[in-house]
Chains A and B, each alone.
Chain A
Amino acid sequence: MVLTDNKKGIFLALLCTAIVSVAQILLKKGSDHFSLAPDQLFSQLTNVPLLVGGALYVFGAVFFIYAFRLGELSVIYPVMASGYIVVTLLSVFFLDEIVTLQKWSGMFLIMGGVILIGKYGHQQTVSVAGKEVLPEKEEEQ
């Protein structure tokens, strides 16, 4: 199976979403002990969830850019909406938050949209010498 650029991009976008979602949960955990008061400032250096969460955010940003490099904006950006689902699921397991039926319904709608775009929203490829390649595109300035 030949991976089109969008498929690799979608894979990176999902990876980015997972990383940033874990980062958000860690930042939420770390924020419990967060303070900018002068006597508290130093103790932030040992606030492990906060530090790891922040680092993961930066790490996620790199995947974000690489995902955009490989895939279309109109595919990659919507696929990253899967973050709503991942963050909510993680908050159930790690923050003991409760998910209402209304939230589950919203999550299923989002999942439906992401799957629709991820599976069928592909850039059209053309067959050149038996290989699927992206069509020639005008250079953007």
Chain B
Amino acid sequence: MNQSVAIILILISSVIGAFSTLYFKIGSSRPIDLKNTKLGLAVLLGGLSFIFYVYALKFAPLTFIYLTASVSYIWAVVLAKFALKEQLNKHKLLGVALIMLGIVVMNVGN
């Protein structure tokens, strides 16, 4: 029961975190100042994601956390393609897969 709560919280955290990253990217092309609402939104979403993350830590074993860190690369690539219209190629996809696998291998069972 607690673990399913944790998984839901972690998923919410990672999706909000992905949108935070997206808005960092969008906001980065404008001057860095207090009028940069995109960067402001990025920081806000980052904070919100962090709150869900810390809350999930109460319920979940740490292994789950590393799975989320790993999944965040999928969100980044999906948002890059559909929100930013970036071109994906097989090197990017294979590279992201290796990184995700590497994060899991580094952390599972430790």
**Chain B, interface residues (CB within 8 Å), range:** 35 or more
Q: Are A113 and B105 in contact (CB under 8 A)?
A: no
- Tell which of B25, B77, B86 has the most Cβ of chain A within 10 Å: B25
**B4 interface hit (Cβ, 8 Å):** no
**B5 interface hit (Cβ, 8 Å):** no
Q: Are B105 and A121 in contact (CB under 8 A)?
A: no
Known A78-B73, A114-B95; contact A73-B110, beta-carbon cutoff 8 A = no
Q: Are B106 and A64 in contact (CB under 8 A)?
A: no
Residues of A within 8 A of B32 (CB): 62, 65
Known A65-B28, A68-B24; contact A110-B103, beta-carbon cutoff 8 A = yes
Q: Are A102 and B95 in contact (CB under 8 A)?
A: no
Question: For chain A, what secondary structure do more than half of its interface residues adopt (helix, strand, loop), or is it mixed?
Answer: helix
Which one of B89, B96, B104 lies within 8 Å of A78 (CB-CB)?
A: B96
**B9 interface hit (Cβ, 8 Å):** no
Q: Are A72 and B86 in contact (CB under 8 A)?
A: yes
Residues of B within 8 A of A121 (CB): 89, 91-92, 95
Residues of B within 8 A of A84 (CB): 102-103, 106
**A57 interface hit (Cβ, 8 Å):** no
For the complex, give the distance between the alpha carbons of A112 and B106 in Å.
14
Q: Are A77 and B73 in contact (CB under 8 A)?
A: yes
For the complex, give the distance between the alpha carbons of A100 and B108 in Å.
12
Q: Are B99 and A81 in contact (CB under 8 A)?
A: yes
**A51 interface hit (Cβ, 8 Å):** no
Residues of B66-92 whose CB lies within 8 A of A: 73, 76-77, 79-81, 84-89, 91-92
For the complex, give the distance between the alpha carbons of A72 and B24 in Å.
12
Interfacial residues, chain B to chain A (CB-CB below 8 A): 21-22, 24-29, 32, 39, 73, 76-77, 79-81, 84-89, 91-92, 94-107, 109-110
